[in-house]
Amino acid sequence: MLYPELDTPALLIDKAIMLDNLRHMQRQADRRGVALRPHTKTHKMSRLAALQVEMGACGIAVAKTQEAEVMAQSGQTDIFIANEIVGEHKLKRIRALASRVNIAFGLDSIEQAVQVEAAFADSEAPARVLIEIEVGENRSGVIEESDFRALLTFLRGCPHIALEGVFSHDGHSYGADTLEEGSEISRVSQRRTLRFAAIAREMGFAAPTVSIGSTPSLMHDYPILEGVTEIRPGTYIFMDAAQAGNIGSLSRCAATVLSTVISRPTSERVITDVGAKGLTMQVRTRGRCATQGLGLVKNHPGVVIDQVYDEHAIIYNAGFRESVRVGARIEIIPNHICPVVNLHEYAFLVENGRIVDRISVDCRGKLG
């Protein structure tokens, strides 16, 4: 089947571009002597996680316990949940997973550690954790060295918690205005992560893993500092309009949403059949990753999605309106691909204009 024959909306993945993106990042990791642990929250497909590991990844990262369960069921054996796991229910599920696969998760406070120690108190194997370091994104993670030292001191008295290392996410790299600024954000973030790893060693913890992440800081030839052992990019597999801004090209955008023009009610307005429920309303407002509108219309330079309702996308462009008719198919490059994938049950793999596979988004809706 030719992909324009699909019913819409539909999530399309260009196979050749995706494979090139996967090879590119694996080469980056291999050349720099670090392990690649792709963050699968971008694609949420166990089939693609398996492909990444086949191509050289050391394992995978996920964001949620439910994602880890799906990936383990599909055969993944080395999983890191790059998030703090809190609550008796989730921790029991982690214990169950730990009996079958190598699984670790994020930790950033004594309060959380108390819960983890209690949950694993009668477990045969300890909970494997990495401490998250806040490096400038203003999200989760340890900020003060004094708090880090206090947490390590507490962990000395936790026989059921094994510290594997530290990790960070330089998500503020999305806001960099220039390549130089992006490079500096990456360096500062790595130095800070490595500083906390050094403190752990000083206090007697081996903590061998130093894991860093974010696609914007890894698509360019920024230096990876000595001591970093692992990188965790996610979006690189598909890229999106924001990442295209970062690298200055749409050529690596593998994912699009196929949509049908359903109305041309004015001389400049075009309506298509995908809205916020298939495209999201996300924008990025700063830096090289800043986006125009709510998505780019592929092969129509300067044409963007101006507005979305739940089930409708609105384009205001007189020239574009005259170039399409009701029933025409268009492809939209999303601003941020990760939440878009979570809205679709399947992705259709396209090669030379034909559908060659339908892949289940089997981690779709796995939010717990």
Q: Report the candidate in 216, 311, 326 with the shortest Cα–Cα distance to residue 262.
A: 326
Structural domains present in the chain: 3-10+242-360 (2.40.37.20), 16-237 (3.20.20.10)
SS (H, E, C) 183-216: HHHHHHHHHHHHHHHHHHHHCCCCCCEEEECCCC
Using CA atoms, how far apart are residues 12 and 87, in angstroms rounded to an integer?
37
pLDDT at site 89:
96
Residue pLDDT, tens place only, 248-269: 999 999 999 999 999 999 999 9
pLDDT at site 219:
87
pLDDT at site 217:
85
Q: Report the candidate in 72, 88, 130 with the shortest Cα–Cα distance to residue 105.
A: 130
Pair 162, 145: CB distance under 8 Å: no
Those residues of the chain that have pLDDT short of 70 are none
Cβ neighbours for 103, distance < 8 A, ≥ 6 positions apart: 68, 72, 79, 80, 81, 94, 97, 128
Instruction: State the sign of the Cα–Cα–Cα–Cα dihedral 349, 355, 358, 363.
Output: positive
Q: Report the candidate in 102, 103, 97 with the shortest Cα–Cα distance to residue 81.
A: 103
